[in-house]
């Protein structure tokens, strides 16, 4: 797929911009396009202290936007969001047209623009209008992609449908969009092929040694009710009669709901202990985890990806048991790392119950506890699912996703005049 591509997203590769999974998605997607031969411009709300334009890799250009606003809102990409949304919509379309679409059209190339999430919908509508005024609408293919339902109430659906082809990442999200009168095309999320190499074996061994002999389940994510933290805590309490009783390793955020989650654990009589390491010293972190005897270990240390993936593989299972998950990228990352995910039953269409993952259909802690009890009692059940999970992850690399996208583009561009 060799063509100029502009990716539009609020989140991006900077620490300032990486709040959720969207930053990872667009960064990896940009590099996948470049490896396939395309020139990529990734527009995102970047760190105000970094260069506005950065040649990040061969054929990958980072374009940090709204930096003048971000300088007054230093917390993160969503700090000062309303002003950024407005500026993004007004200032990006002329740049894309003049600096990307026009030069590409002169070379006989059609530009692909992919915009992510509700914050970019206004920019896509404005870009479509500008292209039409300039007589360049046939020189660009515009896609708007929904990864979540956040902000749907702010989208001008009629104008967006006229401006761009709408895509999404799962059947679950397709039905959500259908409820808003849309007929999106599905292009699934992906993972970089390098993750299929698995987690670093030495780091996996160190995490297993630190976690000790007790079964250790892991839950990573924001402290948000949608993530079903209470189900995980209640299930852990139900499993304390298993010899040896399992423990839960938690890596959450700083959200206030976290206090409710830990209070629930203490209410059940579970011991809760926070574990950190000065200066994020990994050696000290392993030692402190090994010394911890708590039922719930709350990690308060930054984990680089290689260490996090090793923890995925070392854990008895990774509880990605969200009640509402539009796709569930973490589940695929766990599979690629050699771990075993426990998924919800919404957007994680790659998860097959007891074949490559544990899937919980309800928010009942009894259901989750029953499945985890089976894992503890039958180690061969876990080992078999981990093998199949790895094979599943291989079907969702970005290379495979781009092949799917290319086929969908044939349909979109053939009917572009009907938009």
Q: How far apart are CA 373 and CA 377, in angstroms?
A: 6
What's the rounded mean pLDDT across residues 117-134?
98
Q: Residue 25: what pLDDT?
A: 94
- Using a pLDDT cut of 90, give the percent of the chain over it: 93
What's the rounded mean pLDDT across residues 75-86?
97
- The pLDDT tens digits for 269-313 are 999 999 998 887 889 999 999 999 999 999 998 888 899 999 999
Largest CA distance in the chain: 72
Q: How far apart are CA 286 and CA 327, in angstroms?
A: 32
Q: Residue 1: what pLDDT?
A: 66
The CA-CA-CA angle for residues 250, 252, 258, to 5°, reads 100
Cα 68 to chain centroid, rounded: 27
Among 78-82, 371-375, 415-419, which is the least confidently predicted range?
415-419
User: What class, spelled out in words, does domain 5-190+397-418 have in CATH?
Assistant: alpha beta
Q: How far apart are CA 355 and CA 372, in angstroms?
A: 15
- The pLDDT tens digits for 197-215 are 999 999 999 999 999 999 9
Work out the mean pLDDT of the chain and round it to a whole number. Answer: 95
The CA-CA-CA angle for residues 259, 265, 266, to 5°, reads 90
Q: Residue 419: what pLDDT?
A: 44
Q: How far apart are CA 226 and CA 48, in angstroms?
A: 32
pLDDT at 418 over 60: no
pLDDT band at 254 (very low <50, low <70, confident <90, very high): confident
Claim: this prediction has a pTM higher than 0.85:
yes
User: What class, spelled out in words, does domain 194-395 have in CATH?
Assistant: alpha beta
Cα dihedral sign, 257-263-265-267: negative
Question: Where in the chain do CATH 3.40.50.2000 domains reside?
Answer: 5-190+397-418, 194-395
- The pLDDT tens digits for 344-387 are 999 999 999 999 999 999 999 999 999 999 999 999 999 999 99
């Amino acid at each position: 797929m060799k063509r100029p591509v502009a990716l539009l997203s609020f989140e991006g590769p900077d620490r300032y911009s990486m709040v959720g999974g969207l930053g990872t998605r667009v960064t990896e997607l940009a590099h996948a396009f470049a490896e396939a031969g395309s020139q990529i411009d990734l527009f995102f709300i970047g760190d105000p202290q970094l260069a506005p334009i950065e040649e990040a890799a061969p054929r990958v250009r980072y374009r940090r936007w709204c930096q003048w606003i971000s300088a007054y809102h230093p917390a993160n990409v969503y700090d000062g969001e309303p002003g950024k949304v407005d500026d993004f919509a007004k200032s990006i379309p002329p740049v894309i047209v003049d600096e990307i679409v026009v030069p590409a059209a002169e070379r006989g190339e059609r530009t692909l623009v992919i915009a992510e999430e509700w914050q970019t919908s206004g920019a896509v509508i404005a870009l479509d209008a500008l292209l039409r005024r300039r007589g360049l609408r046939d020189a660009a293919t515009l896609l708007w992609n929904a990864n979540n339902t956040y902000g749907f109430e702010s989208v001008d659906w009629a104008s967006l449908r006229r401006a761009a082809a709408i895509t999404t990442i799962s059947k679950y999200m397709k039905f959500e969009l259908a409820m808003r009168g849309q007929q999106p095309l599905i292009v699934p999320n992906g993972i970089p092929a390098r993750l299929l190499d698995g987690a670093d074996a030495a780091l996996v061994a160190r995490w297993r040694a630190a976690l000790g002999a007790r079964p250790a389940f892991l839950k990573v994510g924001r402290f948000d009710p949608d993530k079903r933290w209470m189900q995980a805590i209640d299930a852990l309490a139900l499993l304390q009669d298993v010899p040896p009783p399992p423990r839960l390793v938690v890596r959450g955020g700083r959200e206030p709901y976290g206090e409710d989650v830990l209070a629930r654990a203490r209410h059940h009589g579970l011991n809760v202990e926070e574990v950190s390491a000065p200066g994020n010293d990994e050696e000290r972190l392993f030692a402190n985890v090994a010394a911890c005897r708590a039922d719930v270990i709350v990690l308060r240390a930054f984990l680089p990806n290689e260490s996090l993936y090793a923890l995925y593989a070392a854990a008895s299972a990774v509880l990605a048991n969200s009640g509402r998950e539009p796709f569930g990228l973490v589940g695929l990352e766990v599979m690629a790392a050699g771990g075993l995910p426990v998924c919800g039953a919404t957007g994680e269409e790659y998860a097959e119950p007891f074949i490559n993952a544990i899937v919980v259909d309800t928010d009942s802690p009894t259901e989750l506890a029953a499945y985890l009890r089976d894992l503890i009692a039958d180690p061969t059940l876990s080992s078999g699912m981990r093998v199949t999970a790895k094979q599943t992850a291989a079907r969702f690399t970005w290379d495979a996703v781009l092949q799917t996208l290319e086929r969908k583009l044939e349909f979109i561009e053939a009917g572009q005049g009907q938009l």
